[in-house]
A and B are shown apart, each in its own frame.
Chain A
Amino acid sequence: MVEISVNDVGMVYSRNETVALEGVTLDVEKGEFISLLGPSGCGKTTLLRIIANLLEPTSGTVTVAGGTPEQARKNRKYGIVFQRPVLQSWRTVRKNIELPLEIMHVPPEERRARSDAMLKMIRLRNFVDAYPDELSGGMQQRVGIARALVIEPEILLMDEPFSALDEFTRERLQGDLLSIWQESKKTIVFVTHNIAEAVYLSDRVCVFSPRPGRLSAVVDVKLPRPRPPEIRDTAEFVEYVARVRGSFEGI
């Protein structure tokens, strides 16, 4: 079943006539983990923002969870994670996770139960009452992921969520993300500029090329699941990385 359908989508920023995206067509299956991969300026973040209804495309159509992106946003069909954790400094870890539930007028007892479950999942139960600036960058990003998942969305949109983290923390969180995905079977659209990250995580890697931003290749990653961290050292993995790298045009 198709969860997200992108049909011939184009995006031209009127301010400077920049063509950010041109003729992108892509279907994302329900429960699929898909990566949008490319260098900066290739339009991958633009496409994610269009799917999230934070941007209107200048041409083409998008359907998300059977409706328009606006309906999907208003019905809270997706949770989003940004490059930065975007935590509110005046809220504790628990209160940050409960923020979307407050907006949805979920009663306090249920908010508490759901944030408890999230805190357990991201292994931050000892930090419930900590404030964001008392946490490391990786912990902050985990809180951001919990906040996206607490509304139990069908879809998880992630915009380079690990790009600001060090290599060790990033690999750990990639593992965490895979086990969360394995448990919840959500559809995940993951934007990254890191080839190995895209290969390790995804079912399919969509390779974007810049100027104008367009979808230049889609690589199916048929590595077995669940994928242990050591899979990165196998010949098969390295081969996939080489194949994805080879599919970039003119960079």
Chain B
Amino acid sequence: MEQSLRSRIGSVALPALFAVLLLFLWQTQLLHRMLGTDTFVLPLPRHIAQILVDNPVKIAENLRATCSVMFSGLAIGCLLGYGISVAAALFPKWGSGGLRVIGAFNAVPIVALAPVVINLTRDASDDVEVRSTIAKTIVVALLCAVAMSIGAYRGLTDLQPFAEDLLKSYAADRKTVFLKLRLPNSVPHIFIALRVIVPTSVISALITEYFAEHVIGIGRMIRDNITLAQYATAWAYIVVACALGIASYAVLMLAQRLICGRRWRI
């Protein structure tokens, strides 16, 4: 117990210590000397923080746009992906083959997928904001669905030896086997998949914003401010993007602990 507590403190304290050290080097410009850069390209932390403090409304507006794309894409994608994995598990003949095809989607980079989807949804609505949101959400959902379907399929089919025989010996029908065995067996695999999916949803939302018609979102602000050589502002949005990624991952870990507890060890 003491050991695990110590290692837990270590796993938080060491990265935190590293961050403090980095901020110190950064603020004292020792970092700039090491990297051979200047305070224009790499503004001081104090400057970046000032921009964050001065522009809460604008940042909140962009954050909300990114979050709504990210979370709705995540939700739709996970449900879709889980649905695909259930279908594949129920029809094993083409299920594993079908999933292999879907897995090929994983190899398509976001920068290639995003413009294609944005083009395809050009007629989805007359409102630029609506059709951009739809396009962005589709990209996020597709990428999440692919990862979820592959992860959950394993959980639905990779059963303990004899587990199926056991239920069969109690004359359980297919529906009962699904509800009492496959479904609960897939829970830890869902969380393992989410560890990849949650960061993917953040990154795909940010990158798809680059290509969207409607100019809004954290990712778009990073890109546009870099184009305009507003490096300090770009850095402020990078900080927000990092915070979003870390916060969503922390929520995931919390949910995992609450749901899995002693029941599903991951």
Residues in A whose Cβ lies below 8 Å from that of B162: 82-84, 86
1/0 contact string of A68-107 vs chain B (CB within 8 Å): 0000011110111011101011110000000110111000
Question: Are A52 and B170 neighbours in the complex by a CB distance under 8 Å?
Answer: no
Q: How far is the CA of A91 from the CA of B264 in the complex (A)?
A: 9
Q: Note all chain B residues with C-beta closer than 8 A to A99.
A: 170, 180
Contact status B180-A89, CB under 8 Å: no
Interface size on A, residues (CB 8 A): 27
Q: Are B160 and A86 in contact, with the CB atoms below 8 A?
A: yes
CA distance A76 to B169 in the complex (A): 7
In the complex the two chains form, is A90's CB within 8 Å of B169's CB?
Answer: no
B265 interface residue, CB < 8 Å from A? yes
Q: How many A-B residue pairs have CB under 8 A?
A: 58
**Residue of A74, A102, A151 with highest tally of chain B CB at under 10 A:** A102
When A82-B162, A99-B180, A103-B176 are in contact, do A89 and B264 touch as well, CB less than 8 Å? yes
Residue of A with least CB distance to B260: A90
Q: Is the CB of A79 within 8 A of B171?
A: no
**Chain B residue at minimal CB-CB distance from A75:** B171
Once bound together, how far apart are the Cα atoms of A212 and B263, in whole Å?
A: 44
* B246 contacts chain A at the CB level, 8 A cutoff: no
A86 in contact with B264 (CB, 8 Å): no
**Bound CA–CA A134/B261 (angstroms):** 13
CB distance from A227 to the nearest CB of B (A): 29
Majority DSSP secondary structure for residues of A touching B: loop
B168 at interface by CB-CB < 8 Å: yes
Contact B171 A82 (CB under 8 A): no
Q: Does B36 lie at the interface of the complex (its beta carbon under 8 Å from any beta carbon of A)?
A: no
- Asked if B161 contacts A151 (CB within 8 A), the reply is no
Q: State the CA gap A100–B163 with chains docked (Å).
A: 12
Residue of A nearest to B159 (CB): A86
B184 contact from A78, A83, A88, A131, Cβ within 8 A: A88
- Chain B residues whose CB sits within 8 angstroms of the CB of A134 once the complex forms: 262
Give the size of the chain B interface in residues (CB under 8 angstroms). Answer: 21
Task: Find chain A residues with CB under 8 A from B172 CB.
Answer: 103
Tell me, yes or no, whether B166 is within 8 Å of chain A by CB. Answer: yes
Which chain B residues lie closer than 8 Å to A83 at the CB level?
Answer: 162
| A133 in the interface (beta carbon within 8 A) | yes
A84 to B181 CA separation, bound complex (whole angstroms): 17
A121 interface residue per 8 A CB criterion: no
Q: How far is the CA of A49 from the CA of B169 in the complex (A)?
A: 10
Q: A90 to B184: give the CA distance in the assembly, Å.
A: 7
Best-surrounded residue of A74, A76, A84, A103 (most CB of chain B within 10 A): A103
Known: A103-B176, A131-B263, A133-B265. A90 touches B187 (CB 8 A): yes
Tell which of A49, A74, A102, A131 touches B180, judged by Cβ atoms closer than 8 Å.
Answer: A102
Contact of A89 among B170, B176, B263 (CB under 8 A): B263
**B54 CB-CB contact with A under 8 Å:** no
Contact A76 B168 (CB under 8 A): no
> Once the chains bind, are B169 and A78 in contact (CB under 8 Å)?
yes
Find out whether the CB atom of A84 lies under 8 angstroms from the CB atom of B161.
yes
Q: How far is the CB of A120 from chain B (nearest CB, A)?
A: 22
In the complex the two chains form, what is the Cα distance from A62 to B169 in whole Å? 17
Decide: A90 and B176 in contact? CB cutoff 8 A: no
Partner of A54 from B165, B181, B262 at Cβ < 8 Å: B165
In the bound complex, do residue A100 and residue B165 qualify as a contact, i.e. CB atoms below 8 Å apart? no
By a CB distance below 8 angstroms, the chain B residues around A49 are: 165
| Partner-A contacts on B (CB < 8 A) | 160-163, 165-172, 176, 180-181, 184, 187, 262-265
The residues of A with any CB-CB pair to B shorter than 8 Å are 49, 52, 54, 73-76, 78-80, 82-84, 86, 88-91, 99-100, 102-104, 131, 133-134, 151
Could you show 5 A-B contacts with beta carbons less than 8 Å apart? A74-B171, A76-B171, A89-B263, A89-B265, A100-B170
